[in-house]
Structure 1
Amino acid sequence: MLPLFDQSAGGLRLKTLIDLMGELGWKLVFGSLALREESPGILSTPSGLASYENALRRSGVTRCVFGVDEISVYLKETGRGLDMVFLSFPHVTNALLPLVRTHCPVASIVYDMVDFHGLRMSRQADVEKNEPLRKEAEKQRAIEVACARSADLTLAINEEERAAMLALAPEAVIEVMPNVFHMPEHAPAGVEARKDLLFIGGFWHKPNGDAVAWFVDRIWPLVRSAEPDVISRIVGSNPSNEVLALGAQPGIEVLGYVPDVAPLLESHRVSIAPLRWGAGTKGKVGQALSHGLPVVATPIGAEGMALRDGEHLLVAEDERGFAQHVIELLRDDELWRRLSLGGREHMATMFSTHVIKHKLDEVLRG
């Protein structure tokens, strides 16, 4: 489907890479595995589909094709002239890679893992003690390994997932391609004008629903008892009924989808990433740090960006430690200023548009 760049981290990653490829001079055609009429959510409406398709055109995409049949026709007509086919997400790659190999004999095939889905599912199975899910995770991992082995180049979102895939597919060619994080040109608002907690995450992505439920049930009472006036706001598209129900708890506000989160990032005191399972790089964490908003995260939430506890953010694995870090950031202005600066400088050095654009150019042309 078309990348929902304002609703999901995976969609934002894909859209940003398309933006950069357009800027680097690539001529782009976008293929959606989903048919037009089967696109989900806002893409199921004519206006929604047109809006996201027009966004791709502004990025340099000259044409969009939908469904395997349209993609097949396009590849039969033009495949011999293609230099590169970029396949994003394992289910897309698994479905289309044989077709691409058949019709694009000289094209380099690049597979973007986005995150290691099998790893994420395995971690979920560990948390939930779910043996059927563990078996599904093993099947998913096998699909991803096959994709990496079959592609000419595989992109991993961080060094940890590159190493994990190489351990399973040592013959694969894998490069790290981090997410891009937009750095606001202006300095972030100071601590004096800020208050409250913020969680951002799309709820089609299951780890986010688990994260906010765990936070509200196990961590929020500890924070609230120490800071009874603080509010925690939950932001993200497609909240489930279970997530919406969290708004009945004292001090919890579920805002749902917010088109522009920048004002929220500028006005809140602490960003939280209480993820118990997941994989890849957490867009919510990088986005907050890029805006100078300090983050309290679990180890899962903090992974993949070379972040150091106490220098760029605060990390805690258990409920009491997480709550204590939140309370510290609510009360300690000097700690807040130090983490705000440290996190923002780290993101600018490692993940800014300029840095990743240069890396993408090297990888794709190398």
Structure 2
Amino acid sequence: MWWDIVKVLYIATRWPWPVEMGRQRMIVQTLEFAATLGEVHLLSFGDPPKKPAPDFITSSGILEMSGMMGIAGSMLRRPLLPLQSHLFLNGPATAAVMEAVERIRPDVIVFDMARLSHLALAIHRHYPGIRLVLDMDDRLSKRYQRMLTNETAGDLGGTFEARLPGAIRFLVPRLKKLLLRVEKSLMDRSERRAADVFDAILMVSALEADEMRTDCPGRADVVAFPPLINELPVPQQDFSRSVRFVFIGNAGYAPNAEALELLDRAAVQVSKNTGSSDTDYCFQAAGKPLAHAVYKKVEVAGFVPDLSAFLAGNAVLVAPILQGTGIKTKIIDALEHSVPVITTPVGAEGLGLTEGEHFICVLGEDDLAQACLHIIRSPEARGGLARMAAAARNKGLTSQNRTILRDRLTFAFGL
């Protein structure tokens, strides 16, 4: 049948396994759905993989990232590209991509985020008949604007910090505001051009997909492709005797580190205002911890091998996210496991959830502390948590189920 002969090549900026962060999760989701449509090949920038590709990947390879001299030369030749694009713009990597395209002869090539747009242009010049899809994730220009507005946090290096040449690692935090302003402008230009370069653009948020269609009109089909919400069994929940306020996320990512620090400060407030008559509670965090970070009240569990077990019983997800764009995968984890959610407007953004009906909305540290205290002190509030979580899960499943997402990727691939 037709889907057995479609060949898809995915070019990623990082090896997606093991999945340790939201972007890796979304790359894997695209790859897994693509494998239901045909034959999937993967090229990834960076170091040799810690974990091999699964069996549904037909072939894979590693591409060379640029060194200091390569980055400097690339910036001189192409000064209007986003700064991060120069990490991936070098002769050996481009030659390896072209060799793979010639060898595989893919029908569709998917590019991981707008930072790889330059590769799409090179491929289109040589192979104009191949369908090009940008797995954009979210609007980085919008994210950088929020980082500029929120002056207390933000990291241009992001999860690529360790992979930057040493001199750049030294300069980035010292020139953060200047680099953010420059990168916001360059990335906005790149995103607008993407609508004319690619045949389709995948975005995790339906809200940002609508914004992209309005702000960047072009020939590309802009498709909302959010994280899948799996229909997992609803766990047994009991909030009558105790509550665990839990956080999930890689603390090496600046928005998560900021949220975890905020949660710890709120937890200190809670501890000062609770007594022996209140129900038992604790604050826990799962995920890669931030090196040398010390929290007063949040217990750091580190990586948990069984997320379902961590979220079972009396867990309430707390995600006081103040920056970032797209959809927060920690909220998806909560929806999948029917776990109640306390988050900010930024945390709930793009999910179509209603405050009070599907989640508890907080605006900052004091607000979060009061929300936690209300749950701790009120049996009625705890009694409504499971109903709220179930309503949120059902809402998410209407637009983020397996059938809908497969159909959307099929459309984006032009099949």
Runs of 4+ in structure 1 deviating by more than 4 angstroms, as ranges, are: none
Counterpart secondary structure, 1:245: coil
Q: State the Cα RMSD in Å.
A: 2.2
1:235 aligns with 2:282: no
**Equivalence for 2:326:** 280
Tell me if structure 1 keeps the 8 A contact 2:200–2:412.
no
Return the alpha-carbon distance in structure 2 between the equivalents of residues 148 and 205 of structure 1: 28
1:164 aligns with 2:211: yes
Tell me if structure 2 keeps the 8 A contact 1:75–1:103.
no
**Equivalence for 1:19:** 32
Compare CA radii of gyration and give the structure with the larger one: 2
Alignment equivalent of 1:136, drawn from 178, 183, 206: 183
1:31 aligns with 2:43: yes
Pair 223,353 (structure 1): closer, same or farther in 2 beyond 3 Å: farther
Structure 1: segments with no counterpart, 5+ residues = none
* 1:225 CA displacement: 2.8
Q: What's the TM-score once normalised by structure 1's chain length?
A: 0.85
Return the alpha-carbon distance in structure 1 between the equivalents of residues 127 and 253 of structure 2: 33
Q: Which amino acid aligns with 1:179?
A: P
Alignment equivalent of 2:343, drawn from 297, 300, 321: 297
Alignment equivalent of 1:61, drawn from 37, 43, 57: 57
The 5-angstrom pairing of residues 159-238 of structure 1 reads: 159-173=206-220, 174-184=222-232, 186-192=233-239, 195-217=243-265, 219-227=266-274, 229-237=280-288
Tell me if structure 1 keeps the 8 A contact 2:195–2:217.
no
Structure 2: segments with no counterpart, 5+ residues = 1-13, 64-92, 153-175
Return the alpha-carbon distance in structure 1 between the equivalents of residues 137 and 30 of structure 2: 11
1:124 aligns with 2:157: no
Tell me if structure 2 keeps the 8 A contact 1:88–1:113.
yes
Task: Provide, for residues 110-141 of structure 1, a one-character-per-residue CA deviation record: whole Å limited to 9, x for no partner.
Answer: 00111211211210110117742233222222
Q: Which amino acid aligns with 1:61?
A: I
* 1:11 CA displacement: 0.6
Q: What's the TM-score once normalised by structure 2's chain length?
A: 0.76
Q: Which amino acid aligns with 1:175?
A: V
Counterpart secondary structure, 2:263: helix
Q: How many residues align?
A: 339
**Equivalence for 2:75:** none
Tell me if structure 2 keeps the 8 A contact 1:65–1:71.
no
Tell me if structure 2 keeps the 8 A contact 1:111–1:148.
no
Q: Which amino acid aligns with 1:54?
A: A
1:343 aligns with 2:386: no
Pair 106,260 (structure 1): closer, same or farther in 2 beyond 3 Å: same
* 1:299 CA displacement: 0.6
Return the alpha-carbon distance in structure 2 between the equivalents of residues 188 and 22 of structure 1: 30
> Comparing 124-133 with 6-15, which one deviates more in the overlay?
124-133
Pair 283,183 (structure 1): closer, same or farther in 2 beyond 3 Å: same
Tell me if structure 1 keeps the 8 A contact 2:246–2:318.
yes
* Aligned sequence identity (%): 22
* 1:10 CA displacement: 0.9
Tell me if structure 2 keeps the 8 A contact 1:197–1:230.
yes
1:86 aligns with 2:93: no
Q: Which amino acid aligns with 1:89?
A: M
